[in-house]
A = this chain, B = another copy of it.
């Protein structure tokens, strides 16, 4: 095994360290966050790999916003009007999703060709191409003392999903949606299901399939 100390990573340079540390947690989700500036009516669309489950009852999601990043328009819009959408990224439009991270001087919808969609009068744009879309409302904002990262806590208000992906017990088969996963800061991956495993109990080792 190759061994790295924190000091060695920081000494390896900003770019090396960023690539390395961003890879450490493992595979990440990729969602496009849609938001709108109410004053200018300009829409914004930005890719996020730090969207995570916070709770099921009530349905709650968390998103980490890094300080001083290009994603600041998204955070400003959310803090301004409380509305945003999550749009899961699938293999058919991951390159357009990546392109949303560039510093455009216009809406990323216009810049990338991804199509704006409005559902049930929700006051933020969805991505028409996405197979899983979520309407979210801001509930809390926490600034992490360690590095000024901002954690947004939001309620899940409504969900739209391709019907064939929803199984009888509520599980959503992301394979059916073509959902991708990401690693590091720029690597994209497709996914293949191995197995759903039964609730684990002592003295019943998981059966080999």
8 A Cβ contacts from A139-176 to B: 139-140, 142, 144-147, 149, 151, 153, 155-163, 166-167, 169-172, 174-175
Contact present for A21 and B146 (CB under 8 Å):
no
Chain B nearest CB, measured from A93 CB (Å): 11
CB-defined contacts of A91 to chain B, threshold 8 Å: 194
Interface residues of A: mostly helix, strand, loop or mixed? Answer: mixed
Seen from chain A, the residues whose Cβ lies within 8 Å of a Cβ on chain B are 1-6, 9-10, 12, 14-31, 49-62, 64, 66, 86, 88, 91, 94-96, 98-105, 111, 120, 132-134, 139-140, 142, 144-147, 149, 151, 153, 155-163, 166-167, 169-172, 174-175, 179-181, 183-184, 186-202, 204-206, 208
Contact present for A29 and B26 (CB under 8 Å):
yes
Contact present for B56 and A18 (CB under 8 Å):
yes
Residue from the list B95, B169, B186, B187 in contact with A199, Cβ < 8 A: B186
